[in-house]
């Protein structure tokens, strides 16, 4: 029996099955994603979604879906499914689903009369290619199978509609056809491992609706183009492999290619293996660069997310080479002491005050896990960050005379709490931020430690007095003895903001902390009472009048709730590390309860992975991206910590 199991009654219940999605990626930057029953509920869903360099390297949906019809005794049974206006679903292929398996390769088993058909889907590792294997498990007599592809050829963030500009013609190739709907796109080659007849019947299917886009306040209706359908004869025991690729394939090798790419995969047969499998899906290698995608299906490679997620994604799986490749890629993107936080490859945004400081933490983690050349490789980049912050850089990021970092750029949200509505940051946090200055102190202390080993007298002379000054100023400004915790931020106009947020927990967890053991305990206890949930930490205490317990609605409504109470699983990382730092062996059981409690989400939202966010209010419904890099990474890192440092508990 599968580790993640769905029974037939759950699968055929669309209210249940449409809320559960599967994502599969490859190293070439492509992904394939849909729901449990194959009904696309997002514009981001598609069987083959891949980057197109000629169009800026962004991802485009080429093949939206593939309907399969079983023709038996002159009766046709279409096992596809789409939603149209008025909660109308057609065809209704979900009712034929007999079983769903996630352990190795995602597989659905359909029963249509006396026919049992198994469908397995995977992406080829380093190519823009989808393979689907169909196996006739049972059939009392020969039948026909028809395959109808639905194409869109558009950016993942957009929708398309019937138009006269589309090239609806196809060219015949070995055991299939190729289609290129618009210029600059690659051709989509659709081929089979066996002889097949293609019947051209070009048509647009109008008004296909995406439920999740409608919920999120976006346009949600699209038209899909189909060039016609393929037909072939089949019988019990037959195996048919369908390929959708940007390159024409040798069809004689498709069956073997499926077997080769399906072997050696980490089975999703346990909680830890689900996380390890999810971890490797964030890695993208293209054009000589190794990137960590922040989340699927709509995020790109973000600097801050990369540094926070990387230790868990790579080091907890003993991938030092991968770790170096990712850090090297990021260092090559640096500009004026800053790392690109978001934006496209051609137009990166450097609007992050914390990404450069998380870089130091990432280098520290590399050393902890056996990377002996960390400072040799990254010391120059580290010094450039320190000099930029000390002397001042973009977005008015600078060190003041008290040794602390002050950042204030009107209209910008420079920390990880970066939601902006109508040009105004929801959580502006202008000025001195608690986690920024905790990270700054950690960065200075690490750099001085390395400088002493290298006997770098010039660096030591310039920076050796800073830690004492930073610590003195930090405690004077941020620590509130009466409240028993740290302020969240302080600026010249508003003064001290003492909202209970999780950012202060980072000041506890870092390798070099300015807090006493007693102060650490007080901070963690406040966080435990106000912020900790079974899915992560809230971003604001429910006692605060600005707290929002549910993150739903249109983009403005969601952005207003994004960091005002919404739960983030990645915050388990600093909280659990801090808890183990303070309570040692006595804290292990609590940490285990929190971390392993996330096993319950393996069959929710993003199947076998962890979502980006959850509601602050119970039952803490999943929201946002179905698979988030730092959610998975930080949970893996804490599990690794438990297994290596607290193995006896």
Instruction: Say if 229 falls within a structural domain.
Output: yes
Instruction: Say if 541 falls within a structural domain.
Output: no
Regarding predicted confidence, which is higher, 346 or 99? 99
pLDDT tens-digit series, residues 166-217:
999 999 999 999 999 999 999 999 999 999 999 999 999 999 999 999 999 9
- Mean of the pLDDT values across residues 644-649? 76
- 8 Å CB contact between 474 and 445: no
- Mean of the pLDDT values across residues 385-404? 96
Contacts of 623 (CB under 8 A, 6+ apart): 551, 552, 558, 566, 611, 612, 613, 614, 615
| pLDDT above 60: residue 88 | yes
Which residue intervals of 281-433 are DSSP H helices?
Answer: 303-313, 320-331, 355-368, 374-391
For residues 313 and 225, membership in a common domain is answered with no
Rounded distance between C-alpha atoms, residue 623 and residue 605, angstroms: 8
Instruction: Say if 559 falls within a structural domain.
Output: no
- Mean of the pLDDT values across residues 511-534? 98
| pLDDT above 70: residue 345 | no
| pLDDT above 70: residue 343 | no
Whole-number pLDDT of residue 368: 87
- Mean of the pLDDT values across residues 127-141? 96
Whole-number pLDDT of residue 344: 60
Of the chain, the percentage scoring pLDDT greater than 70 comes to 98
Of 11-15, 253-257, 616-620, the poorest mean pLDDT is in 11-15
For residues 55 and 113, membership in a common domain is answered with yes
Rounded distance between C-alpha atoms, residue 68 and residue 118, angstroms: 12
Whole-number pLDDT of residue 515: 98
Estimate to the nearest angstrom the gap between the alpha carbon of 155 and the chain centroid.
18
Whole-number pLDDT of residue 266: 84
Whole-number pLDDT of residue 348: 76
Domain boundary among 530, 548, 575: 530
Whole-number pLDDT of residue 347: 67
- 8 Å CB contact between 426 and 562: yes
Whole-number pLDDT of residue 330: 95
| pLDDT above 80: residue 99 | yes
Whole-number pLDDT of residue 163: 96
Residue 222: beta bridge partners?
Answer: 208
For residues 297 and 373, membership in a common domain is answered with yes
Number of domains making up the chain = 2
Q: Dihedral of the CA atoms 240, 244, 246, 249 (nearest 10)?
A: 10
Domain boundary among 206, 234, 262: 262
Whole-number pLDDT of residue 648: 66
For residues 298 and 440, membership in a common domain is answered with yes
- Mean of the pLDDT values across residues 412-441? 94
E strands, 405-449, in order = 405-407, 420-421, 424-425, 432-433
For residues 412 and 480, membership in a common domain is answered with yes
Domain of residue 124: give its range.
8-262
Sorting pLDDT into bands at 50, 70 and 90, what band is 309? very high
Of 66-80, 92-106, 351-365, the poorest mean pLDDT is in 92-106
Instruction: Say if 314 falls within a structural domain.
Output: yes
Instruction: Say if 614 falls within a structural domain.
Output: no
CATH of the domain at 365: 1.50.10.10
CATH of the domain at 177: 2.70.98
- Mean of the pLDDT values across residues 67-90? 93
The whole-chain average pLDDT of the chain stands at: 94
373, burial (CB in 10 Å: exposed 0-12, middle 13-18, buried 19+): exposed
Instruction: Say if 622 falls within a structural domain.
Output: no
For residues 174 and 61, membership in a common domain is answered with yes
- Mean of the pLDDT values across residues 554-567? 96
Domain boundary among 530, 552, 582: 530
For residues 276 and 186, membership in a common domain is answered with no
For residues 204 and 309, membership in a common domain is answered with no
For residues 478 and 347, membership in a common domain is answered with yes
For residues 37 and 62, membership in a common domain is answered with yes
For residues 191 and 283, membership in a common domain is answered with no
Instruction: Say if 649 falls within a structural domain.
Output: no
For residues 223 and 288, membership in a common domain is answered with no
Whole-number pLDDT of residue 208: 98
pLDDT tens-digit series, residues 35-78:
999 999 999 999 999 999 999 889 999 999 999 999 988 889 99
Instruction: Say if 583 falls within a structural domain.
Output: no
Of 226-230, 395-399, 420-424, the poorest mean pLDDT is in 420-424
């Amino acid at each position: 029996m599968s580790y993640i199991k769905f029974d037939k009654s759950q699968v055929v219940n669309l209210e249940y099955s449409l809320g559960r999605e599967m994502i599969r990626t490859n190293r070439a930057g492509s992904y394939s994603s849909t729901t449990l029953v194959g009904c696309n509920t997002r514009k981001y869903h598609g069987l083959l979604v891949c980057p197109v360099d000629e169009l800026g390297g962004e991802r485009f949906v080429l093949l939206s879906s593939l309907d399969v019809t079983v023709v038996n005794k002159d009766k046709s049974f279409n096992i596809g499914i789409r939603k149209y206006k008025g909660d109308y679903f057609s065809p209704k292929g979900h009712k034929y689903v007999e079983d769903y398996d996630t352990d190795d390769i995602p597989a659905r088993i359909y029963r249509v009369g006396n026919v049992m058909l198994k469908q397995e889907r995977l992406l080829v590792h380093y190519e823009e290619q989808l393979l689907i294997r169909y196996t006739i498990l049972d059939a009392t007599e020969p039948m026909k199978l028809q395959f109808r592809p639905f194409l869109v050829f558009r950016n993942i963030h957009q929708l398309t509609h019937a138009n006269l500009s589309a090239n609806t013609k196809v060219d015949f190739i070995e055991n299939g056809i190729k289609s290129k709907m618009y210029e600059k796109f690659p051709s989509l080659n659709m081929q089979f491992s066996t002889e097949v007849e293609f019947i051209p019947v070009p048509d647009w299917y109008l008004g296909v609706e995406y439920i999740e886009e409608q919920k999120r306040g976006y346009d949600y209706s699209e038209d899909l183009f189909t060039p016609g359908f393929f037909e072939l004869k089949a019988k019990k025991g037959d195996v048919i492999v369908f390929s959708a690729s940007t390159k024409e394939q040798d069809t004689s090798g498709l069956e073997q290619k499926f077997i080769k790419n399906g072997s050696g995969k980490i089975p999703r047969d346990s909680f830890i293996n689900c996380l390890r499998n999810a971890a490797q899906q964030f890695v993208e290698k293209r054009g000589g660069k190794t990137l960590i995608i922040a989340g699927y299906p709509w995020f790109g490679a973000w600097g801050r997310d990369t540094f926070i997620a990387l230790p868990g994604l790579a080091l907890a799986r003993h991938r030092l080479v991968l770790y170096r490749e990712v850090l090297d890629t990021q260092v090559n993107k640096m500009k004026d002491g800053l790392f690109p936080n978001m934006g496209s490859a051609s137009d990166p945004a450097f609007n992050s005050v914390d990404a450069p400081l998380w870089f130091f933490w990432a280098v520290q983690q590399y050393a902890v896990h056996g990377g002996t050349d960390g400072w040799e490789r990254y010391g120059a980049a580290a010094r450039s960050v320190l000099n930029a912050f000390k002397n001042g850089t973009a977005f008015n990021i600078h060190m003041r005379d008290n040794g602390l970092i002050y950042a204030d750029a009107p209209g910008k949200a420079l920390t990880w709490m970066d939601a902006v509505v109508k040009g105004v940051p929801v959580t502006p946090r202008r000025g001195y931020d608690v986690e920024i200055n905790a990270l700054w102190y950690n960065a200075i202390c690490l750099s001085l430690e390395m400088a002493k080993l290298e006997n770098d007298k010039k660096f030591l002379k310039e920076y050796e007095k800073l830690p004492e000054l930073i610590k003195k100023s930090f405690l004077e400004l941020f620590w509130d003895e009466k409240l028993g915790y740290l302020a969240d931020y302080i600026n010249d106009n508003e003064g001290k903001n003492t909202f209970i947020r999780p950012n202060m927990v980072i000041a506890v967890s870092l390798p070099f902390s300015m807090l006493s053991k007693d102060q650490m305990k007080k901070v963690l206890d406040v966080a435990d009472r106000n912020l900790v949930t079974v899915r992560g930490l809230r971003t604001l205490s429910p006692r605060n009048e600005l707290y929002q317990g549910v993150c739903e609605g249109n983009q403005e409504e969601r952005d207003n709730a994004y960091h005002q109470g919404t739960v983030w699983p990645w915050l388990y990382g600093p909280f659990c590390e801090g808890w183990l730092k303070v309570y040692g062996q006595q804290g292990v059981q609590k940490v285990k309860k929190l971390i392993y409690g996330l096993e319950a989400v393996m069959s929710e939202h993003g199947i076998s992975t962890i979502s980006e966010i959850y509601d602050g209010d119970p039952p803490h419904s999943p929201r946002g991206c179905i698979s988030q890099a730092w959610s998975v990474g930080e949970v893996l890192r804490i599990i690794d910590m438990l297994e290596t440092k607290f193995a006896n508990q």
